[in-house]
Amino acid sequence: MAGDGSMRAVLDYCHGLPLVRFAQHEVLIAEGPATGRMFILATGAIEVLRGQTMVAEVAEPGAIFGEISALLGGDHSATVRAASEVTAYRIDDATAFMRNGNEIVFHVAKILAGRLRDATTYLADFKRQFAGRTDHFGLVDEVLEALVQRQSPSVTTGSTRTSDPRL
């Protein structure tokens, strides 16, 4: 998560929010059921894990975690764990906080736009490398198309298989 100062600017809007301390290896957010919480890193470093795989380590003050669950109204998609001693601002009702239209929402939008740009760039590079493949790498076209074209939050969970009426 490269910063252009915008994540540090987020800290200017955290006055009045509870500042919580976490010991190294303590979990701020667990992958799974939504808590409604969002955190803004003040000091220290965190790890982001999907399952047992670490996907990122972030140490930039102002970094925001839990925003995806708040915006999409679903479960937490990853675990956020303290990689060192951490202090973070806690927002207990992240959805209401984001609906408030405060300045942090703009920064969340910038962060998410950057992540989408990075993911799209990665997938486009991946697509070029595996062009013409008919195996599972061919699905990259569909994933990239979905990322680029999606304009409304349409989320479907569960299986598309028909359930067995005998069960």
- Dist. CA 66–CA 79, nearest whole Å: 9
CB distance 45 to 58 below 8 Å: yes
Q: What is the pTM of this model?
A: 0.71
Beta-carbon contacts of 56 under 8 Å, excluding residues fewer than 6 positions away, are: 1, 47, 48
Predicted confidence (pLDDT) per residue in 142-152, tens digit: 666 665 565 54
Farthest CA pair distance, the chain: 58
CB distance 110 to 6 below 8 Å: yes
Predicted confidence (pLDDT) per residue in 97-127, tens digit: 888 877 888 888 887 888 778 887 877 777 7
Predicted confidence (pLDDT) per residue in 57-96, tens digit: 999 999 999 998 888 889 999 999 999 999 999 999 999 9
Please name each of the domains of the chain with its CATH number.
6-103 (2.60.120.10), 112-149 (no CATH)
